[in-house]
Every structure is written in structure tokens, then in C-alpha cells.
Amino acid sequence: MTLNSNPTPNPGDVFRPEPDSGCLMCSEIEAGHSDVTTGRHIADLTASRLLLAANQYVSGMCMLISNAHATELHHLPPTAAGGYFNDLLLSSAAVEEAFRPHKLNWEVLGNWTPHIHGFIKPRYRDDPIPDNRIPHDVPWVTVDEQEMDRRVELVRTALFAALDRDPRRLQLDVVLDPREDDRHRG
Ligand SMILES: [Zn+2]
């Protein structure tokens, strides 16, 4: 199992309508890996694309963009919604492993860009506001290219490790069919 800049997960029957030409997140899904504008490409997962967010106000903040254009998660067909959550579980575990935060926050808003995209925000005891949510209008913090590369590789390495331990984590049936999970365990 490999996971790189062009992985080939099993997409099943993931819902993927034609992109909305006016939507920033649709553009990010359709863009080449080096052409995304809101962060740095980490991986394409079953139902989403994982980026290291351009704003590194908290170190390791990532964004998980749904492949499918939908404004609310419950608007997706169940398989696509399950796929997105499966990707969230995998991505969150990788971010936790990569950055060893005190806590993870996950936030989905979409008021400005109504296409499902969640932020995975590692929280540290010494971050600027450790006891509160991070507001959306925090100062923009960028790091240099070398440090962005290092952070991307940390997350990718953790994704590799998680998939090496359990490659089924890229498969939708793990989430959607617990009987299948039982058969694997047995
Ligand atoms: Zn969209």
C-alpha cells in the first residue's frame, strides 16, 4: 500500500458531481497537486483531499475538502458522507501522530465558501488561546517553504504508518458495514 501525491484509493461509489465552476473548493479539488491555493497538498483520500492549511496560526493545521460539492454533510449520499468521515478519522489520527498536540479541534463552517471543508486544528498548551476555540479571523501566520515541506511530510509519514498498520482504513466498507469489520478481525 502506498500513499503519495497520487494515491489510488478504492473510491467505491463515491458521489462526485460536476464541479461548480464558481466554487473555490471545487477548484482546489480539481487543481493539480502543486496548484492548490489554500494550502499545501498532502494526500487524496477516498472522498476528500487533505491539505496543510496555508495559515499555520497553529502548527499543523490542516484542511479536509470533500471531493463532492455539497453545502452540508447530510446533503451527501450516505456512502460519500461515510467516506468523508472515514477520511476525517484517518487524517485526524495522522495529525495527532505528526504533531502530538494536547488536543485536536475540528471545525466545519463554510459560511464564506459553502462547500464542505473541515479544519483539523492541533491545540497546544502554549498556543495563543489554549482554552478557547480559534476564531476564524486569527492573524495569518505563514512559515517558509522548507518548514511547510517538513510538516507535510510529517503528516504523510503518519498516514503511511496508519495505512501500513491497517490498509482497510481507506475502504468505505470499514465504516459502512460493521459485519465486514468483524470478518477482518476474526
Ligand atoms: Zn464546490
Ligand 1 midpoint to CA 91 (Å) = 21
Residue-wise pLDDT tens digits, 111-138: 889 999 999 999 999 988 888 998 877 8
Give CA–CA dist 105/61, Å, rounded.
Answer: 10
Residue 9 has pLDDT above 80, yes or no: no
Q: Give mean pLDDT, residues 157-177.
A: 68
Give CA–CA dist 64/116, Å, rounded.
Answer: 8
**Buried residues in 8-20 as b, exposed as e (16+ CB within 10 A):** ebebbebbeeebe
Query: What is the pLDDT at residue 20?
Result: 54
Average model confidence (pLDDT) for the chain?
Answer: 82
Query: What is the pLDDT at residue 174?
Result: 40
**pLDDT band with cut points at 50, 70 and 90 for residue 14:** very low
Query: What is the pLDDT at residue 181?
Result: 41
Query: What is the pLDDT at residue 3?
Result: 43
Q: Give mean pLDDT, residues 5-17.
A: 41
- Which of helix, strand or coil describes residue 62? strand
Ligand 1 midpoint to CA 118 (Å) = 13
Comparing 82-96, 123-137, 138-152, 168-182, which segment has the lowest mean pLDDT? 168-182
Ligand 1 midpoint to CA 161 (Å) = 31
Ligand 1 midpoint to CA 126 (Å) = 35
Whole-model pTM? 0.80
Query: What is the pLDDT at residue 178?
Result: 42
DSSP 60: T
Residue-wise pLDDT tens digits, 22-75: 899 999 999 999 999 999 999 999 999 999 999 999 999 999 999 999 999 999
Ligand 1 midpoint to CA 76 (Å) = 13
Give CA–CA dist 54/25, Å, rounded.
Answer: 14
Ligand 1 midpoint to CA 166 (Å) = 31
Ligand 1 midpoint to CA 82 (Å) = 18
Of the two residues 183 and 146, the one the predictor is more confident about is 146
Ligand 1 midpoint to CA 86 (Å) = 20
Give CA–CA dist 48/68, Å, rounded.
Answer: 8
Ligand 1 midpoint to CA 78 (Å) = 18
Domains of the chain: 24-127+140-185 (3.30.428.10)
- What type of residue is 163? L
